[in-house]
């Protein structure tokens, strides 16, 4: 009986954790405003249709990443193959990808955005490509980029 109850609690806990989930912004304008308001760096995830999903499955969908992201960054997902966004927005996203030196997809970047006189500039803290490591190790790398000593 106890074993069944513990199993049920585990699955319910997992369900509720995923239901809280991650909130990914898809507009850089909204993301930059939120980043400046919350004084948090942007975590920009560049992807494209058909890109490998290991990064999402092994890192982003873990409880450790959900908690870390909620407390430390503003999440931005830029799907460069998204057909629902305007051509101007697509061009802006591709330009940002190039400016941040992202050469393979999917890949994430940590950056700080600043706006002066309606001009947005980005200070790259680091790039986080997929690596076959644990979510905790991946988060440690991100923390080092955000807080270099």
Q: For residue 5, is it within any domain?
A: no
Q: For residue 12, is it within any domain?
A: no
Tokens, residue 90:
């697509």
pLDDT at 19: 43
Peptide bond between residue 106 and the one before it cis (omega within 30 degrees of 0): yes
Distance between CA atoms of residues 23 and 21, nearest Å: 7
- Cα separations in angstroms, 133 against 64, 95, 136, 137, 140: 13, 30, 8, 6, 11
**Under 8 Å between Cβ of 35 and 113:** yes
Q: Report, as an integer, the average pLDDT of 87-99.
A: 94
Give the pLDDT band of residue 4 (cuts 50, 70, 90): low
Total structural domains within the chain: 1
pLDDT at 131: 84
CATH code assigned at 78: 3.40.30.10
pTM: 0.83
Q: For residue 85, is it within any domain?
A: yes
> For the segment 15-64, what is each residue's pLDDT rounded down to a tens digit?
444 445 899 999 999 999 999 999 999 999 999 998 888 889 899 999 99
Give the pLDDT band of residue 10 (cuts 50, 70, 90): low
Q: Which domain holds residue 67?
A: 22-146
pLDDT at 120: 92
Q: For residue 9, is it within any domain?
A: no
pLDDT at 78: 96
Q: For residue 59, is it within any domain?
A: yes
């Amino acid at each position: 009986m106890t074993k069944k109850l513990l199993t049920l609690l585990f699955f319910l806990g997992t369900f509720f954790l995923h239901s809280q989930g991650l909130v990914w912004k898809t507009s850089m304008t909204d993301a930059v405003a939120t980043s400046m308001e919350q004084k948090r760096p942007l975590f920009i995830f560049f992807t494209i249709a058909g890109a490998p999903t290991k990064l999402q499955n092994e890192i982003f969908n873990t409880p450790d990443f959900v908690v870390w992201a909620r407390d430390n960054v503003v999440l931005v997902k830029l799907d460069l193959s998204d057909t629902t966004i305007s051509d101007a927005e697509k061009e802006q996203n591709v330009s940002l990808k190039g400016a941040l030196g992202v050469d393979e997809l999917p890949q994430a970047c940590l950056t700080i955005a600043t706006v002066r006189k309606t001009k947005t500039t980005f200070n790259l803290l680091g790039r986080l490509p997929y690596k076959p490591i644990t979510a905790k190790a991946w988060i440690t790398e991100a923390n080092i980029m955000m807080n270099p000593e």
